[in-house]
A and B are shown apart, each in its own frame.
Chain A
Amino acid sequence: MQSLTLKVDSVQLSFDDRKILQDIYLECSTGEIVGLLGRNGSGKSSLLKIIFGSLVPGFKYISINDEYIVKGYINNRIAYLPQHNYLPHGIKIKNLARMLIDELFWDEFSELTIFKDHQYKTASQLSGGELRMLETLMIVYNKADFILLDEPFTHISPVQTEYFKPIIKACAKRKGIIITDHQYYNVLDVSGRNIILENGCTKPIHHIDELVTYRYLSGIK
């Protein structure tokens, strides 16, 4: 399988003259998981939305293998798990899943207990946790080469978090994943490389102590 590299460079985003993102450089190749950390309001979700193509910044340069990407989601290049629920109500989960899941992994996906249990229901018939699990799994098993996960561990129980981690790691063998969550220990656990967003700039994290230096953590226990 051809290795792909997603490059995000020179992103500039501001709201009402307040600069949110200004000095961004991020690289992610297929086969790796990049953790994106940062305090509330640092622009993590905005950056992911810009990469996905649903938010238009003042300037950006996004490419996959040096091919410029206007909107990441077109033709399934990039998939994005938003913080909120995104599945439309009124259509069966099975029909919704068919449009998102990579056909190579459909058998694997359709064998998942949560899918088998709820495939004939609609999104409105599921509990918040069940819906979030299915939404995350639909993105992880998506056709896209790069997956952006915005708070995948939020709203789910610790047991489900432990269930997701190996699935995300397995997915990373064939795709590139950028993951952000305030449960930083879970992000550090799955990611191979980490970046912190500080004052609109991306900075690589080589050691957990640097999270204290950048005032993301008050201290390490």
Chain B
Amino acid sequence: MTFLRLRKRPTIICRIFCLIGCHNYHLKALILISLYYWKLLLLFNVACSLLALAIGWYNAGYIGGGNLFIAKIFGFAGAAILHQYSAKDTYYYFRNAGCRMRWIITVSFIVDVFVFIVSILFINLVTHAVAYIKG
């Protein structure tokens, strides 16, 4: 595909595609375009997730794994709705790339949940490491 062939040095994303054996043209395009969409949502996404987390903490009085995950779902949904209202015209870009918005939003959500889980694991790891070092 254009994105992958035109670069002289393969990007990290290209290397990941090769590593997982992903050679389907439309699937690659869908994943790349979904990453762009996810990047566009990022600011809204973080803001909405923090807001949902604050509301959850205010109502339940604590932050648990369930609260975090629900905040993540509401955060992404809120960001997607805000983006739809503020930048719906840009959907034509994604459609001209050959993808349905429904697919793009689904793949972006999967990416978002993956990044969220990795972030939580990393924070947990760092917290435990700091506690271990402090004794």
Q: Which residues of A contact B (CB under 8 A)?
A: 52-54, 71, 73-76, 79-80, 82, 84-91, 95-96, 98-103, 106, 138-139, 142-144
Find the A residue at minimum CB distance from B103: A74
Distance, CA A100 to CA B36, complexed state (A):
13
- Cβ of B92 within 8 Å of any chain A Cβ, yes or no, is yes
A54 B89 Cβ-Cβ under 8 A: no
Find the B residue at minimum CB distance from A86: B92
B2 A86 Cβ-Cβ under 8 A: no
B39 A99 Cβ-Cβ under 8 A: no
A95 B36 Cβ-Cβ under 8 A: yes
Residues of A within 8 A of B99 (CB): 74
Residues of A within 8 A of B93 (CB): 86-88, 96, 100
A91 B36 Cβ-Cβ under 8 A: yes
B92 A74 Cβ-Cβ under 8 A: no
B85 to chain A, nearest CB (A): 15
Residues of B within 8 A of A106 (CB): 2, 6
Instruction: Give the tally of cross-chain contacts (CB within 8 A).
Output: 73
B98 to chain A, nearest CB (A): 4
- Cβ of B33 within 8 Å of any chain A Cβ, yes or no, is yes
Distance, CA A86 to CA B97, complexed state (A):
12
When the two chains form the complex, which single residue of B40, B90, B95 contacts A53, counting CB atoms closer than 8 Å? B95
B89 to chain A, nearest CB (A): 5
A50 to chain B, nearest CB (A): 13
When the two chains form the complex, which single residue of B6, B92, B98 contacts A76, counting CB atoms closer than 8 Å? B98
29 residue pairs from A and B, CB less than 8 Å apart: A71-B100, A74-B98, A75-B98, A76-B97, A80-B95, A82-B89, A86-B89, A86-B90, A86-B92, A86-B93, A87-B90, A88-B36, A88-B40, A88-B93, A89-B87, A89-B90, A96-B36, A98-B6, A99-B2, A99-B3, A99-B33, A99-B36, A99-B97, A100-B97, A101-B2, A103-B5, A138-B96, A139-B96, A143-B98
When the two chains form the complex, which single residue of A86, A99, A143 contacts B32, counting CB atoms closer than 8 Å? A99
Residues of B within 8 A of A76 (CB): 97-98
B40 A98 Cβ-Cβ under 8 A: no
Residues of B within 8 A of A52 (CB): 95
Find the B residue at minimum CB distance from A94: B6
Residues of B within 8 A of A79 (CB): 96
Query: Given contacts A86-B93, A100-B96, are A91 and B39 in contact (CB under 8 A)?
Result: yes
